[in-house]
Amino acid sequence: MILFASILILTACNGKKNEEKARTLFEEGVRLREERHSEEAAEYFLQGLELLKNNDVKTYENASLQAQINDNLGALYLKHGLFDGAFDAHNEALRCFKLLNDSTGMMNAYRNCGRAVRSQEQYKLAKQYYDSAFCIATLINDNAMLSDLYLEMGRDYYMETGDFTRGIECVNKALEGDLSNDDIDIANMTLGILYYYSNNFDEAQKHLINALRSERPGVKMSVYQTLYAIAYYEGDYKLAVYYQQLFSDNMLESEQQLSSETMLRLKSEYELKAQKNAMESLHRNHSLKLYLIIALSVIAFLIILLIIRKKINENKIKALEKELEIRNKIMLSNKVFVTAKNLGEHLTSETMDFTLDDNDWDDFISLTDMIFNGFSKRLLATYPKLGKWDVRICCLCKNGFSNQVISILLDTQTDSFYKRKTRIRQQKMGIPNDERTFEEIINAI
């Protein structure tokens, strides 16, 4: 009995030590994650989990720590595109939270599992996880989480599956709830895009303009991209070029923000030092006359720059208008193009009544090749597994037709067309992990 008791005490002591070591590793991993050292953070999390798994004595603290580590590890995996690992980690966290009867933990874990499977385009399974998170958030009256879930469902589920009406309903409910200022901007951006997809351009523009209050370049990029699409569709090419320029400016700013913190710090220190030296040099050596010369030079340079920029934009508009005029003259002789254009402008019983044969499609592909420098040949050279209808879909995307128009031409539902694009990308193109949209991949060819 004494020996048995001694073994139990020794086991408990070892288990406690392992738990303390695991907590230290977890806290260090959290610190490294906050400092964006993802690889090192993941290593600490995995070491902590290994210690906890080797514990023979299972305590509440043990299970709670294991759930927290898995939740953080899953978030790291999800951020870096390791979706299978992310789902496994969040699912394990969910199992632990269920053992602990931790409602808040389960709610977050369900949501994170939904994110992981949605990233793999398993939308039906994602909906189940999101619904479970909704149920718990409703039961515990967590209004902040409910608002976040409504926004996430509208943006990442209903928009992705093509149910724009339900998406609009969800995001509006999110705006009625407890959203942070950043999330309010994201909600307005999402509503703008959803209304754009629904061809309600007035509502789209209203929400997109509201979203421009955001200071985040990524949000502004999406807003300007959608405003550009609306202006282009409405034939306001001057405004389209203006939004395209704003999109490019914010893309540059976004790329700069994505630079490493170390590089940003070194750059800031260097610029501060350079500014200090410049100021000291100016105070020592330059007279008021030199200041005036510099000021006048800067003003003259800015004027010249504005004139050049204005000329460039004017040339861009002329080139765009000329390109569109030439393209329309060529493509308007083709039945597929005219039918798609009519469907995009007026969705009526007359425009829906059409028939297209193989000759029409062959002519459409030939004209597309003429305009886009042998597009279909370059497409098949890059992705030889594509079939006849796959090439037709890619040519329609290249000509800028919407998912709704293409799905009508294919005589299929919009959500079925989304799935078909996914199959083309995964099975025919062999690039399932490419983070670009299908349209971005096509336009890059």
Residue pLDDT, tens place only, 111-136: 999 989 888 889 889 899 999 999 99
- Across the range 149-173, mean pLDDT stands at 88
pLDDT in tens, 48-58: 888 887 665 46
**If you average pLDDT over residues 343-351, what whole number do you get?**
76
Q: For residue range 9-66, what is the model confidence (pLDDT) as tens digits?
A: 434 445 577 788 888 888 888 888 888 777 888 888 888 888 887 665 467 888 888 8
Q: Domain residue spans in the chain?
A: 16-213, 283-330, 332-445
Per-chain mean pLDDT for the chain? 80
Residue 273 has pLDDT above 50, yes or no: no
- Token pair 């790291």 in the structure block, residue: 76
Report whether pLDDT(254) > 60. Answer: no
d(CA 370, CA 395): 12
Give the integer Cα–Cα distance in Å for 85 and 57. 27
Report d(CA 353, CA 33) in Å as an integer.
57
- Rounded to the nearest 10 degrees, the angle between the axes of helix 143-152 and helix 123-139 is 160
- CA 134 distance to own-chain centroid: 23
Q: What is the pLDDT of residue 135?
A: 92
Give the integer Cα–Cα distance in Å for 219 and 250.
9
Domain 16-213 class in CATH:
mainly alpha
pLDDT for res 9: 40
Closest to 89 measured CA to CA, from 55, 122, 117: 117
| For range 285-299, the mean pLDDT | 64
